[in-house]
Structure 1
């Protein structure tokens, strides 16, 4: 798996100057090192196809860990679900894996499943900024993988813009 840090640094736990600089600057969080190590363990073990995948970022939001990855064609969504379950067992936290996408709707559909996304509205605010409102059916609120606030926070971090989830 392609990761932002050196394999040797992740494996040993001792970071070289370049990797330490990435952690100090905030591009890579301290907890992400354990996530990368777990992914490398899974790649060596039962998920050999992970070697063609790319890891971008892990976002922690409450009791939910969201991994932002780019997937090769050999890994489909059912395989990612198995990988997420294996990571949950290793890291002891709820894990969601989201394909890196420029579309907020694609990210929301992956993150909020099994709840269905009814639509995504773009709201232009008076100060010139943009806010996205993701609509979810009222009867599917219980299917959300975490609280709406945590999911809003995670989606906002993924896309660097304000995102709200509205249950209607």
Structure 2
């Protein structure tokens, strides 16, 4: 399993100096560590989890797991067993998305079941940012707050993103 923390920290309760430094810098969160350790413990029973690449865990009103390309189905598990167990352990619904090379397709999956009208590139003096256009009528369909969505996209793609709701 490839995770944001090392193999030693996965199997023990304590963090090594490197992983503790990642935690103090804010590169990883305590929730991320807890989820990765839970998945590591499940991997002893569910063999398909041993080859999974977990890129990021975002904790909002939904627990969002960003898997490596092609690892989404393995992370969900047969019959949804893995996500059901995680939902039970953390008391939140779990959503799994696969990492994508382009931000547009990932953003469309992230805001689903709301639809994405388009992404505009906004050029500014201090660089460029992106504007995700979503229909106003779909605002209630978002599983997360607009702030959480923009934070997720910024942390994964390193780009400034803003959500715009259009009539």
Does TM, scored on the shorter chain, surpass 0.5? yes
Q: 1:75 aligns with which of 73, 76, 86?
A: 73
The correspondence of residues 8-157 of structure 1 with structure 2, limited to 5 A, is 8-45=8-45, 47-60=46-59, 62-72=60-70, 75=73, 82=80, 83-125=82-124, 127-157=125-155
May I ask how many residue pairs the two structures share in their alignment?
A: 165
Q: Provide the C-alpha distance between the structure 1 equivalents of 2:132 and 2:67, rounded to a whole number of angstroms.
A: 22
1:161 matched residue in structure 2: 159
Farther off after superposition, 156-165 or 90-99: 90-99
Shift, 1:113, TM fit: 0.9
RMSD: 2.7
- Cα deviation for residue 80 of structure 1 reads 9.6
Q: Name the CA distance, whole Å, in 2 between partners of 1:77 and 1:5.
A: 17
Give CA deviations for 1:58-110 in whole Å, capped at 9, x if unaligned: 233x4343322204368289759934444222212343322222311122112
**Cα distance in 1 between the residues matched to 2:111 and 2:4:** 26
Matched position secondary structure for 1:165? strand
TM (normalized to structure 1)?
Answer: 0.80
TM-score, structure 2 normalization: 0.80
- C-alpha displacement at 1:120, in angstroms? 1.0
Deviations 1:113-159 (A, max 9, x none): 1111111111111x141111111122221111022222122222221
